[in-house]
Amino acid sequence: MTSHTLRAPTRLLFGPGPSPVHPRVYEAMREPIVGHLDPFFFEVNQEIARLLRTCYGTANEFTMVISGTGSAGMEAAVANFVEPGAKTAIFANGYFSDRLAEMAGRHGAEVVRFEKPWGEVYSDEEAREFILRERPAVVAFVQAETSTGAYQRPHAIGATAREVGAISIMDCVTSLGGMPVDVDAAGIDVAYSGTQKALGCPPGLAPITVSPRGVEWLRQRKTKPVSWYLDLKLLLDYYESAHRYHHTAPISMFYALREALAVIEEEGLEARWDRHKRNHELFVAGLAEIGVEMLVAPAHRLWTLNTPKVPEGVNDLEVRKTLMARHSIEIAGGFGPLAGKVFRIGTMGYGSTEENVRLLLAALKEALGR
Ligand SMILES: Cc1ncc(COP(=O)(O)O)c(C=O)c1O
């Protein structure tokens, strides 16, 4: 065992995340850490909350960060808003909506599912009809389904959930910072994300935002959430009002997120969305030129994560191994019903550039022998 300074290889991260990290974010992580009760830390937090509100498209006062990855954001949403016995309606069209259903079940929910084949999404009418029929206490769905590359419009879901008095939960892990999220415009009560996708930051934190209606619901909740660590009321006491110790926040990751969000503000959120859309479209056009088709219909594709179909007779694992061996390029394969059928290729955050798209296309063309 050698004990010299650690050196990690430089990979080209074009998988479903983590995505490439902006150099300014790496630099921010080298800043000296302060204590988790230091006023400077809370100032950084305030700034993070302000910048996150813009990305989420919300005025929600309750916008904070969970110390944990995207799944911690998901579990915080479920643990706080799904009470034992609560009927929870899940739009089940991919791996991460299955995870939402699994978590809700573990928290004691009565789960009802609206199944769709992976890669498809729900029309406004279908969403509305499901919620009106089930009249659930909670509705949960994934806006940007990383297992399929499909984007779910949130507006009809949010509006109908409010109509029946349900709390709506939206997973924005692969949309935040790369595509419109529209929390307020869609009337969503709880939205969470992760740092390692279109925000251009390492994995490790889960930004979450809760509507005033959601906060009021929480205030009235009689039972305590089973999870102590993810109890949003306790977290509020730490980050906001009393600054009472709750856990030792990972300070360097908060610096990283602050810097990633500052980079987004400087670029301009709409300019950033345009960049993601442009590079996604360039990639899709280049794939078409080499005869590779996409899984998802054009109107429902994510700009952050592309799912080209694996061409007939091609072994996806061999292609992925070749890309890694020859170019240090990481992409991912499909899983579940899409195993062996699609590639999952990220064009997100700092990684979404024209130069990267051209590099990816050239490497893929070579690996596919086209
Ligand atoms: C849509 C979606 N939700 C939740 C998660 C879970 O996030 P994490 O892996 O950071 O825990 C992911 C991770 O890829 C995701 O893509």
Mutational pocket test of ligand 1: of 102, 142, 152, 174, the residue with most ligand atoms within 8 Å of the beta carbon: 174
Please give the distance, rounded to the nearest whole angstrom, from the Cα atom of residue 145 to the centre of ligand 1: 9
Query: With a 6 A CB cut-off, is 150 part of the ligand 1 pocket?
Result: no
Task: Pull the structure tokens for residue 250.
Answer: 């990972």
pLDDT in tens, 307-357: 999 999 999 999 999 999 999 999 999 999 999 999 999 999 999 999 999
Beta strand extents in 125-245 (DSSP E only): 138-142, 144-145, 150-151, 167-171, 190-192, 205-210
Q: How confident is the model at residue 240 (pLDDT cuts 50, 70, 90)?
A: confident
Helix pair 95-106, 70-81: axis angle to 10 deg:
40
Ligand 1 contacts CB of residue 96 (under 6 A): yes
Neighbouring residues of 7: CB distance < 8 A, sequence distance ≥ 6: none
**184-187-191 Cα angle (round to 5):** 75
Task: Tokens for 106, please give them.
Answer: 């573990």
Average pLDDT for 68-73:
98
HSE of 293, CA atoms in CB hemisphere, 13 A: 6
Query: Is the CB of 173 within 6 Å of ligand 1?
Result: yes
Fold agreement between 23-265 and 269-367:
no
Q: Where are the domains of the chain?
A: 23-265, 269-367
Pocket of ligand 1 contains residue 120 by CB under 6 Å: no
* pLDDT, position 1: 57
Ligand 1 center to residue 169 CA distance, Å?
A: 15
Q: What is the DSSP string of 70-124?
A: HHHHHHHHHHHH--TT-EEEEEE-SHHHHHHHHHHHHTT-EEEEEE--TT----H
- Across residues 270-290, what is the average pLDDT? 98
| Cis peptide preceding 16, ω within 30 of 0 | no
Residues 6+ positions from 300 with CB-CB distance below 8 Å: 120, 121, 150, 151, 152
Is it the case that residue 2 has pLDDT exceeding 70? no
Q: Which CATH number is 23-265 given?
A: 3.40.640.10
Nearest CA to ligand 1 atom 8: 70
Query: Please, what is the angle between helix 251-267 and helix 269-289, to 10°?
Result: 80
CATH superfamily name and code, 269-367: Aspartate Aminotransferase, domain 1 (3.90.1150.10)
Predicted local distance difference test score (pLDDT) of residue 132: 98
Tens of pLDDT, residue by residue over 129-179, are 999 999 999 999 999 999 999 999 999 999 999 999 999 999 999 999 999
> What global pTM score does this model have?
0.98
Query: Quick one: tokens of 76?
Result: 């915080």
